[in-house]
């Protein structure tokens, strides 16, 4: 198996291994370490203020001259929010925090700000970003035309065949096929009820057969065997997230890293409790309590804003039961090493299998 292919040529990288963007975890240092090692680092800026995004992009550029991707959120904002159920949820969260000693701050309708990818486009152009990946939806046709005019390569996220076809039709250059094993938010955008729940083993070959653009496999990959399997199923690259959660460059705090270290294959679940969108993480008290409340969970990004202050205080207080412990079904494989070492070991375990 060759390590260079259509995907590596399009991305202008040496190896077809992408460090997955992980908002809240991935730092410019992590991105640069992977890009400098010959893979593709990905910098998440989903929902961030344009100036914050610019700072992160500039920081990353100061650490690497190699290509890296900038990752966006491409969802549409809810048109109508039921503020009555938001209030009920807020009241419940206030009592829950009081019970467990977590600092709570009230959120009001006026506090609700969310930056869309359209708000960030100018910064992407000004900073001459060459690769853009995105999740939660399709980019609008004007944005795609604008980015393609500047020769920006686009990677969209699909969790089922229908989404992959829609992404290809919209004009993306590559597709990240995200299996249900993956940590963090689901990229699903055609349906959230029911949510597509397809494992990588079945998703990758079906997506590969349905589109012409290169497919990147994401979800549950933690070693050379996983990469080899993904390539055998027709993927041209892999996107690895959870394996970097405990890296030296990860922004996760100790409580989060400990939970990941001790998680078993059965310890993660999908939940809407933290953000209003389905995401996979290690099950904790917060998830269990919100789900058992029977309350209607406001849509993303409203619930995400409601819980932001709770997550921030839990991070400071080291309370893992109130943190969103996003991680995949193989998250416990994540080593406490530098991102460079993790990348190099992943690559060499793949090479050994190739040569063996
Ligand atoms: C903590 C965490 C945060 C994530 N944040 C993002 C994000 O901001 N944008 C995105 O496209 N994907 C995000 N993902 C999903 C990854 O891109 C990728 O699909 C996933 O990590 C692959 O599965 P794995 O975690 O089993 O390696 C996140 C994943 C994790 C674990």
218-228: burial string, b at 16+ Cβ within 10 Å, e else = bbbbbbbebbb
pLDDT of residue 237: 98
**How many Å lie between the centroid of ligand 1 and the Cα of residue 184?**
5
The first and second tokens of residue 266, run together, are 């059965």
Q: Are residues 304 and 332 in the same domain?
A: yes
**Residue 71 pLDDT:** 99
Which pLDDT score is estimated for 3?
86
Q: Same domain for 107 and 3?
A: no
Query: In the listed set 220, 245, 270, which residue is the last one of a domain according to the structure?
Result: 245
- Ligand 1 centroid vs 241 CA: distance in angstroms? 5
* C-alpha 244 – ligand 1 centre gap (Å): 10
C-alpha of residue 240 to centroid of ligand 1, in Å: 8
Q: How do residues 258-280 score in pLDDT, each as one tens digit?
A: 999 999 999 999 999 999 999 99
CA dihedral 345, 347, 348, 353 (to 10 degrees): 130
Residue 23 in contact with ligand 1 by CB distance below 6 A = yes
218 lines ligand 1 (CB under 6 A): yes
Lowest-confidence pick of 23-27, 113-117, 344-348: 113-117
What pLDDT digit, counting tens, does each position of 157-167 carry?
999 999 999 99
Does the residue 42 lie in any domain? yes
Inter-residue contact 250 to 244 (CB < 8 Å): yes
Mean pLDDT of 32-38: 98
The string of pLDDT tens digits covering residues 115-127 is 999 999 999 999 9
Does residue 142 fall inside a structural domain? yes
| Ligand 1 pocket check for 250: Cβ under 6 Å | no
> Quick one: 299 and 205 in the same domain?
no
> Is pLDDT at 6 greater than 80 in this prediction?
yes
Ligand 1 mean position to 88 CA, how many Å? 30
Query: Do 200 and 286 sit in the same domain of this protein?
Result: no
The answer to whether residues 139 and 216 belong to one domain is yes
Ligand 1 and 204: CB distance under 6 A: no
Give the position, in ligand 1's atom list, of the atom nearest the Cα of 218: 22
Same domain, 220 and 142: yes
| Same domain for 279 and 269 | yes
pLDDT at position 77? 87
Range of the domain at 297: 80-113+250-337
Question: Is ligand 1 within 6 A of the CB of residue 20?
Answer: yes
Q: What is the pLDDT of residues 58-112, one digit of tens each?
A: 999 999 999 999 999 999 888 888 999 999 999 999 999 999 999 999 988 777 8
Task: Identify the domain boundary among 202, 227, 245.
Answer: 245
Ligand 1 touching residue 184 (CB < 6 A): yes
In a domain, 73, yes or no: yes
Do 156 and 105 belong together in one domain? no
Q: Where are the alpha helices (DSSP H) in 23-108?
A: 28-36, 50-63, 83-100
Q: Provide, rounded to the nearest whole percent, the portion of the chain with pLDDT above 70.
A: 99
Domains in the chain, number? 2
Within a domain: 49: yes
256 and 121 assigned to the same domain: no
Report how far ligand 1's centroid is from the alpha carbon of 10 (Å): 22
Check: CB of residue 192 under 8 Å from CB of residue 172: no
> At 201, which CATH number?
3.20.20.70
pLDDT given for residue 52 in this prediction: 98
Query: In terms of domains, do 150 and 273 share one?
Result: no
Within a domain: 26: yes
> Rounded mean pLDDT of the chain?
96
Angle between helix 83-100 and helix 302-317 axes, rounded to 10 deg:
10
pLDDT-derived band of residue 31, with 50, 70 and 90 as boundaries? very high
In a domain, 348, yes or no: no
Q: Is the pLDDT of residue 227 over 60?
A: yes
CB 330 within 8 A of CB 220: yes
Dihedral pair phi/psi, residue 345, rounded to 5°: -70, -40
Work out the average pLDDT over 290-302.
96
Query: What is the Cα–Cα distance from 50 to 72, expressed in whole angstroms?
Result: 11
Report which of 319, 303, 317 is spatially closest to residue 93, judged by C-alpha positions: 303
Residues 203 and 288 in one domain: no
pLDDT attached to residue 2: 56
In this structure, are 207 and 165 located in the same domain? yes
């Amino acid at each position: 198996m060759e390590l260079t292919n259509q995907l590596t040529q399009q991305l202008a990288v040496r190896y077809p291994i992408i460090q997955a963007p992980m908002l809240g975890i991935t730092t410019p240092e992590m991105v640069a370490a992977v890009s400098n090692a010959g893979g593709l680092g990905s910098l998440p800026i989903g929902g961030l203020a344009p100036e914050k995004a610019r700072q992160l992009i500039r920081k990353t550029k100061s650490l690497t001259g190699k290509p890296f991707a900038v990752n966006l959120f491409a969802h549409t904002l809810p048109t109508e929010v039921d503020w009555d159920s938001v209030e009920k949820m807020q009241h419940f969260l206030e009592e829950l925090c009081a019970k467990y000693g977590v600092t709570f701050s009230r959120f009001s309708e006026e506090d609700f700000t969310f930056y869309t990818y359209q708000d960030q486009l100018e910064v992407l152009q000004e900073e001459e970003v060459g690769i853009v990946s995105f999740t939660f939806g399709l980019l609008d046709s004007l944005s795609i035309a604008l980015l393609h005019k500047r020769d920006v390569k686009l990677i969209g996220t699909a969790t089922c065949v229908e989404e992959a076809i829609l992404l290809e039709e919209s004009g993306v250059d590559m597709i990240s096929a995200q299996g249900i094993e993956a940590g963090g938010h689901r990229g699903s955008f055609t349906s959230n009820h029911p949510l597509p729940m397809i494992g990588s083993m079945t998703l990758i070959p079906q997506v590969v057969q349905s589109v012409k653009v290169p497919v990147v496999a994401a979800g549950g990959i933690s070693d050379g065997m996983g990469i080899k399997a993904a390539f055998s199923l027709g993927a041209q690259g892999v996107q690895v997230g959870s394996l970097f959660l405990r890296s030296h460059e990860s922004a996760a705090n100790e409580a989060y890293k400990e939970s990941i270290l001790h998680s078993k294959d059965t310890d993660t679940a999908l939940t809407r409790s933290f953000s209003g969108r389905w995401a996979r993480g290690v099950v904790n008290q917060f998830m269990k309590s919100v789900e058992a409340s029977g309350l209607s969970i406001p849509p993303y990004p409203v619930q995400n804003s409601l819980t932001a202050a709770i997550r921030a205080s839990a991070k400071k207080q080291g309370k893992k039961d109130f943190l969103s412990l996003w991680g995949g079904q193989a998250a416990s494989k994540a080593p406490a090493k530098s991102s460079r070492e993790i990348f190099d070991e992943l690559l060499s375990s793949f090479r050994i299998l190739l040569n063996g």
